[in-house]
Amino acid sequence: MFTVVEVVEVVGIPPSEFGKPLESVVINNLKKKYEGAVDEELGYVVMVVDAKVDKIGQLLPRDGSTYHNCVFKLLTYIPEVNEVVLGEVVEITDFGCFVRVGPFDGLLHISQIMDDFITYDEKNNMLVGRKTGWKMSVGDDVRARINAVSFAGGAGGKVSLVTRQPLMGTLKWVEEEKARMVQSSVGQT
């Protein structure tokens, strides 16, 4: 889920940045530090939204920088277990695929794709269901559910996805499944 988080921090301004607009320098420093970072509490930091900086800073002995109190906002994304997300397949492997969902790539393991035996077609770089004939390739849009989230280990976070549920998978599969559902409900009346 995307959210805006307010953070309070002391930001250092090196002497090389003196004379430049204070807020611009602070925002640039915060962008370098936070944008693209992954944190257990914040999740994936997408961008620095706003910053308010005290004009008067503090000096520390034997340090030429000034230190200013700052309140700033970050746009973050914290993936939540059971959240339904829409993403794009960015890589196919023999063990599944990686789906880009906003700021992260989630793993969709081959065992979590569909209730069918899946083969990896290395030549065409796709995964294919044996009975259904459904195919998954790079560039396909996918609706998935977040199955597990881990920010432990500092490896940039890991997110596990599942599409092995009704109305999940590539959007083409979802449309085919909806059409079958409509067709079976029409046949019952």
Q: What is the pLDDT of residue 1?
A: 83
User: Stretch 88-92: mean pLDDT, rounded?
Assistant: 97
Dihedral angle computed from the Cα positions of residues 123, 127, 129 and 135, in that order, rounded to the nearest 10 degrees: -90
Q: What is the pLDDT of residue 181?
A: 86
- Concatenating the DSSP letter of every residue in 72-91 gives EEEEEE---TT-EEEEEEEE
Q: What sign has the CA pseudo-torsion 172, 174, 179, 183?
A: positive
Instruction: Confirm if 34 and 45 have CB atoms less than 8 A apart.
Output: yes
Tell me the β-bridge partners of 5: 74
Q: With 60 as the cut, is the pLDDT of residue 188 above it?
A: yes
Q: With 60 as the cut, is the pLDDT of residue 189 above it?
A: no
Instruction: Confirm if 12 and 66 have CB atoms less than 8 A apart.
Output: yes
| Top mean-pLDDT range of 36-45, 120-129, 147-156 | 120-129
How far apart CA 7 and CA 4 sit, in angstroms, is: 10
The amino acid that residue 147 corresponds to is: N
Tell me if 2-77 shares its fold with 84-188.
no
Using DSSP's 3-state secondary structure scheme, residue 166 falls into coil
What top-level class would CATH report for the domain 2-77? alpha beta
Q: What is the pLDDT of residue 154?
A: 58
What's the CATH number of domain 84-188, 2.40.50.140, 3.40.640.10, 3.40.630.40, 3.40.720.10? 2.40.50.140
Instruction: Compute the mean pLDDT over every residue in the chain, rounded to the nearest whole number.
Output: 92
Instruction: Confirm if 62 and 50 have CB atoms less than 8 A apart.
Output: no
How far apart CA 71 and CA 94 sit, in angstroms, is: 46
Q: Where are the domains of the chain?
A: 2-77, 84-188
Top-confidence residue, 183 or 67: 67
Q: With 70 as the cut, is the pLDDT of residue 96 above it?
A: yes
User: Stretch 152-174: mean pLDDT, rounded?
Assistant: 87
Question: Helix, strand, coil proportions of the chain in percent (round to 5)?
Answer: 20, 50, 30
How far apart CA 30 and CA 68 sit, in angstroms, is: 13
Instruction: Confirm if 108 and 66 have CB atoms less than 8 A apart.
Output: no
User: What is the 8-class DSSP label of residue 123?
Assistant: T
Q: With 60 as the cut, is the pLDDT of residue 51 above it?
A: yes
Confidence of residue 187 (pLDDT cuts 50, 70, 90): low
Q: With 70 as the cut, is the pLDDT of residue 153 above it?
A: no
Neighbours of 144 (CB within 10 A): 26
